[in-house]
Amino acid sequence: MYYSTQKKLLIVGGANFSEELFKEVYDNKIPIIAADGGVNFLTEKNISPELVIGDLDSVSEQKIQNIKPEKIIRISEQDSTDLEKVLFNTQSPLTIGIGFLGSQIDHELAALSALVKFAHKKIIFIGEHDIVFLVPPSFSLRSFDGMRVSLYPLDEVKVHSDGLQWATDGLTMKPTGQLGTSNKAIGKSIHLAPDKPKLLLILSKTVLNEAISQLMLAQSW
């Protein structure tokens, strides 16, 4: 493992995202890791990441010329994505990722799959409008009537829920069958308890801070 921290960790990927989104999530008190092409954005902002990890096929040599060679970790194998290379080689209580939602849909699907592959880690992806993360064994969140709560299974999974307009108890969700997208909250809180680490939760970015707080408190798989 190349990097471990007791702080939250920000990973920046190469998918397009706005400067406004970066300003919203950037905190100079937490470390930043660039996943391959994510370093191009960071160097444009004169931000030097702790490490650059990936196969480096999307990295501008001109933009990384001022980064110390020991901070550049080239992993050439093609059996994992650049995001997975970062997740394999970092450890933190919570990993926040931007630059993984949007742009190419194949890259986005691979990133979502990584949430299940690394179910033992707490990871949250932030996009321009939505956030997404793997639902922990037990997860509660403050809510309001009508708040969008989308559940998406990446494999067969059952989930107990409270506070949703359409209850999920008794259902078996799977990608080719029953989904849980565009559900809604009723009341002041929701609670989810899936039986396997296979369920993604998609919420509006407006609840980002609350989601991060509750994810930090939740039990890991």
46 touches 67 (CB < 8 A) = no
Q: Report pLDDT for 1.
A: 79
Q: Report pLDDT for 39.
A: 94
Sketch out the chain's domains with CATH numbers. Answer: 3-128 (3.40.50.10240), 139-203 (2.60.120.320)
Which tokens in the block code for residue 113? 């799959």
pTM: 0.95
Q: Report pLDDT for 129.
A: 96
Q: What are phi and psi of 197, to 5 degrees?
A: -85, 65
Helix residue ranges per DSSP H, 15-81: 19-25, 38-44
Q: Report pLDDT for 118.
A: 98
Q: Report pLDDT for 102.
A: 83
Q: Report pLDDT for 33.
A: 98
Q: Report pLDDT for 61.
A: 80
Distance CA 125, CA 99 (A): 8
* Nearest in space to 191 (alpha carbons), one of 157, 221, 167: 167
Strands 32-35 and 51-54: parallel
Q: Report pLDDT for 82.
A: 95
Block means of pLDDT (10 residues each) for the chain, 221 residues, are 94 94 94 94 93 89 84 91 97 98 91 98 97 98 97 98 96 96 96 98 97 97 97
Give the C-alpha distances (Å, rounded to integers) separating 38 from 33, 88, 105, 127, 200.
Answer: 9, 17, 17, 14, 24
38 touches 15 (CB < 8 A) = no
What's the chain's Rg over C-alpha atoms? 18
Match 């926040």 to its residue by tokens.
96
Q: Report pLDDT for 26.
A: 94
